Structures are given as C-alpha cells and as structure tokens.
Structure 1
C-alpha cells in the first residue's frame, strides 16, 4: 500500500454524475504499441465503447481483462500487486470509456513553450535551467497512455486534453519560481523552474518501512520531480513500478527529465491509499462518490485533484490563494490548448474550497 505523509494523491450536473466508466476494446482505433510515431489528425471518437470488453486499448502492452466478483479488473503491465489494477463496472448499459491516441497529437511544442516560457529565464536563479523540455514530457506520457493518461474518452467525449492541462497546471504550480503568489498572467509562465525541493533539511526516511523500503545510507528522500515525491516508501513504490532503482538512487530523478515526468505521471495515476481514487480517477470521473463523499462535498473534477494531492493543506479552507493559484494555471492552460473553460461555470467542480479532505494533513506545504 502506498501511504503518504506529506503529499496527498487523492451537487454536480446530473449528466456528469451519470457517467460510470467502462474500459473497452479499442484495438482497431489505437496504435499505442507505436506511441512515439503517432502523428496526423487529433484522436477520433472510439465507436466500440461498451462493446466487446476484452482489452483496454492496447493488447500489445499486456493490459488484460480479468473478471473478479462481477467487476472488470484491467491489470497494468509490469505491476504484480493487484492494488494497482484498474477497476471498472461491467454493466454494458452504462456510459463507457475507452482510451485512444497520443498526447503529442494535440499538445504541440509551441503550446508547451507558451505554458513554460519563463522556465529558463536569466532573471531568476533556478535549479533546473535547461532541464525540462517538450520531448521529455511526450516520451514520459507515452509510457502511461495505454492506462488512460491523456487518452481517455468518457461516453465518447474526449477528456485527454483537459487532463493534460490539469496535470501540467499542478506541475507548473509546484515547480514555479512564483509559487508564493496568486498567479497573474505573466506569473503563469514561470512553471518548471525547479526539479527538486528548494530547501531540504530532512532526509525523509521513515523507519516504519525499513523492511519493504529500507533507507539507503546517506540518501535523502526530499521532494524531486515535476510533482515532487517525498519519503523512502514513495520512492520505493515508484521505482518498483517504473523498474528504476529510485530507493537507492533518488538522484536519478534530478538527472533525467523524462524520468522526472514519468514519476510525476505515476503519482497522478496511482491512488495514495487502498479504497481511495487516484488523481486521474477523480478528474475523468472514473470514481463514484459514496454517501460519505457527498456529505463531505467531494465531487469529481479539477477541485478533487487538489484534494487527492494536497488534502486540507489546500482544500476546505475557503477561497485561499494556494487553491486559486492551481485553478489559474489550469484555466490558462485550457486557453492555450484551445479548450472551452466550461469548468469556470461550475465552481463546485473547479474548486475544493468546501471539500473535506480525503486524508488528514501532517506538516508539509502543498
């Protein structure tokens, strides 16, 4: 089980509440086994939703369907622990989803550069000048596309563009040179200034996990990456899933921008605790709120992504500046990517001002 001590991963219009996702066979419309070579027109709707539920998107990646207790469990490649399975309802009469296409089809180099145009500026001292680039993000995202990152259709409506905008909004805010202020338009361009925590005075070694993830001698597990990960157990889990020895060599994240993005997307896709949704799940709607969630005013959407990742360090605090900063980046990126900012008309989906946290806070800044 992936725990989090400082970082947190994990009413609305009825037409949105109705969506319950079902992954389906999209093999005829997908070529994700060759993700790096996809080009041409943007992804097209998959007409096979809710039919022939045998594979999810790309059988070459080993994403296989197993039925357990009346539910479909799609096992992700190279993941032996069943907690990492993607679970979905099996009712063929419910609205469904499929994944298809590639992030590079709709996020272009010029858009990425506009989003992060100040990242290599000479005006500020940064840790990561020249580190982050478009191709590293595209390569990293291709690794996660078969699992739905940036490629998900819900009820034949494409959510990939919005998801990438949401993900990059979190990345930009967490790595911004101006992350202590409510972002103006100019400040929205300062993301990706850093690839590690600016000032770390702790090694973040939790001895409770010394058997599963023993801390390496002299190694510090401070925040690194596009969505910083902390603590030995998080480095251990990420390294196990990505097949990289991050427990003994967390510095790899500081040395390889593709890996730094991969770890961030891994964090986006993985739930923090068992029986809780991932950030990906709450954003695309692949999560059904319980009665307790409804009472806690937790609904899916961009607001819930802040709840999963940061809990009550950001959410349930009213219209605080930290929350507004994340939202400002998200809306700005939607505009750059040419997507309607319809969320702005539904504040209950966009914010988490009144949401009760999924998990109690500890003692870190978001």
Structure 2
C-alpha cells in the first residue's frame, strides 16, 4: 500500500472518531552509517560503505572509485545517520506532473520519476547511472500521471533481470546485426569462443555488458565488411606480414600470416602470441583462423581482451572502465584512423556501435565515441 493511500485511510478513521488531526509526512529513520569508504581499500560484491552521509552497496569488485561513481558499481542505499529524503511527489499542478527533468549521467534509484526530453515521464525500475529511459528499458518504465493526482511508482518491479549466465546478445540479435554475414561466422562459433575470456561482456552492469558486446561487434563489423570477409582482400599485402627478425621466423611460409578472422589477425608474431595464449599452435597452423569459426572468434577476443595496439589500454578495459568506444578504435587502428587521420573510417565504426546498442536496448555509455 502506498504511503499516500495509507495516510488517507488514517485520516478518514480519525474524522469518523470525531478527532481533529493534522497529518504530516513522518520522517523516515535513516539506517546507521556503514564504515566510511576508503580510496585505498578493495571492495568486493556485497560490501557496504558510507560516503557523504549515504550508504552504498558494491555490486562487484572495485577500488578507488568514490561512491556514487560513474561505472554503476555502487548502488545507493539511501541516507544514513539522519532523515532519509522522501521520493519526489507530484505538486498538484493541473493537467500533469512536475517531476524533475532527466539528466544524463546522474545516478537514479528505484522509484525515481523523471521527465524525459520527449516530454513523457518515466519511473526507474532499477538503480542506474543516468541511462536513457527510451533506450534502457530494463531500467525505466513509462510513468503516467494526470490532473491533480499521480500513479504511484511501483514498489516491487516485476521486470525479470537479465540472465547473467548467458551471452548478452541473442542469436536473433546477432542475425539482425549481420544480415549478410558469411556462413563461416556463426553465432555458435562466437558463443563457443567466449569461454576463452570469461570477463568479456560479463563485467559491470547489464548495460555495460551489452555496451562491450556491441563495441566488439561494431569493430568486427567494420573490419570484415559486416562479417562478410574471412581473409584480407588485398593479396598484395600477404608477403609483408613476416617479421624475419623473430627467432621463430615464419615456419608456415613467407606469405602465410595475412589478415584473417573478425579482427583480421596478421603478422607472424601476433599468430604466435595469440596461439600461445589460446593453447593453439597458430604459428604453424595459421589457416585455423579461417577454417574454424570458434578459433577465429577466439583470436578476435584475444586481441580485444589483452592487446592495446597503438592505444593505451585494451578495448575491454576501455569499455568496462568508462573510457568509451573511441578508445577501442584507437587500440585497434588508432595510428591510421584517430586524430583526424581517417574520420570516415572512424564514423563507420561509431555508426555500427550506435546501431548495435540500439538493437540491445542500451545507451552508448560513458566516454568518447570518437578518437
């Protein structure tokens, strides 16, 4: 039962008994403050801290991110050591609501009601760091109020949470992203490759996991023409990818280490490093990247999760730490595309990312889209 309805019932009872009463909003007792947040401390999922008069719950491992933070790791548990602020209420203006405007990047908690840029109102179904109500529909529901009254925010959201054990991209969404893909690139091959890097698309909030998956697939889309090309198309480049200064040389042949797979793995030293990391002898068998769909995807995930290329961080870290999609471009091909070198190529990647997050129902996230 809502607080407003409860007070109305109490008022009616008092009048019936001949008692004149004035009902005020009763102050809510705040919880005791947890131990103060420390920048040097390491917190794991379930840890509770206090900061600036509020308690926060850690959703996963974190260090040196002051609550409420920007990555979504901290869940606001409300005020501590004082009165808890009441949820926003409608002021009674005729014909509609008077809730505050939505602000991108502001932390919202379950039950918050905002007015979005489309002029409509939305209620937070789950805590979130300012995701768009029209994109992140798991976090927001439409909210209706009219006249002098208002529909109360739901107190027990019924939306099912995402299945954290499954890949955040369904097969139907994968097919929607790549309608013209080569049959070599299969959804099952992608899913089979995920075990090689379990942190991929499994780190952070549901939105962050989807954003990382979308970022990876957007770069893959650009590198392969929409998952069409398995191998590098410019065959004239093939003999150039053998670095003979390496002690192991090029045992598969001078022209054997051309670009293959979703992120076009090339050079003998990259085949050696990826193979060593994955437990596959790619130095002697580079063709596995163009004949085994799971191996192909694993090499792409190897680069994504472990290599920074011309950038300063891995693409995985760029997405989970809030640096933004632009830094994934820099780490993959920044020396040729970023800093104004090839804005059309950069925009191609950005456009794919924007399309893919739309398919997954999330916003573009924090950080720069471009590089």
Shared fold, TM over 0.5: yes
**Partner SS state of residue 150, structure 1:** coil
User: Cα deviations across residues 231-254 of structure 1 (Å, max 9, x unaligned)?
Assistant: 110000000000000001100011
User: Cα deviations across residues 54-103 of structure 1 (Å, max 9, x unaligned)?
Assistant: xxxxxxxxxxxxxxxxxxxxxxxxxxxxxxxxxxx8558676859x9345
Residues in 1 aligned to 2:63 and 2:365: alpha-carbon distance in whole angstroms:
30
Offset at 1:207? 1.4
Q: What stretches of structure 1 of length at least 5 have no aligned partner?
A: 1-19, 28-45, 51-88, 120-128, 177-190, 287-299, 353-366
**Partner SS state of residue 208, structure 1:** coil
Offset at 1:199? 2.3
User: Which of the residues 192, 198, 201 maps onto 1:139?
Assistant: 192
Query: Is this contact kept in 2: 1:140–1:262, CA < 8 A?
Result: yes
**Partner SS state of residue 200, structure 2:** coil
Offset at 1:49? 2.9
Which has the larger displacement, 267-276 or 312-321?
Answer: 267-276
Query: Is this contact kept in 1: 2:324–2:365, CA < 8 A?
Result: no
User: Which of the residues 202, 208, 231 maps onto 2:245?
Assistant: 208
User: Which of the residues 179, 185, 191 maps onto 1:117?
Assistant: 179
**Partner SS state of residue 168, structure 1:** helix
Q: Compute the RMSD of aligned alpha carbons.
A: 3.2
Q: Determine whether 1:351 maps to 2:362.
A: no
Query: Is this contact kept in 1: 2:43–2:58, CA < 8 A?
Result: no
Offset at 1:115? 0.5
Q: Determine whether 1:282 maps to 2:293.
A: no
Equivalence for 2:202:
151
Question: How many residues were matched structurally?
Answer: 229
Equivalence for 1:227:
263
Cα pair distance change 1:134/1:215, threshold 3 Å: same
Cα pair distance change 1:341/1:269, threshold 3 Å: closer
1:130-279 mapped onto 2 (5 Å cutoff): 130-145=183-198, 148-153=199-204, 158-176=207-225, 191-201=226-236, 202-203=238-239, 204-209=241-246, 211=247, 213-218=248-253, 220-272=256-308, 276-279=312-315
Cα pair distance change 1:275/1:321, threshold 3 Å: closer
Query: Is this contact kept in 1: 2:337–2:343, CA < 8 A?
Result: yes
Equivalence for 2:325:
302
Residues in 1 aligned to 2:40 and 2:244: alpha-carbon distance in whole angstroms:
39
Q: Determine whether 1:49 maps to 2:60.
A: yes
TM-score w.r.t. length of structure 2: 0.55
TM-score w.r.t. length of structure 1: 0.56
Structure number with larger C-alpha Rg: 2
Q: Determine whether 1:101 maps to 2:164.
A: yes
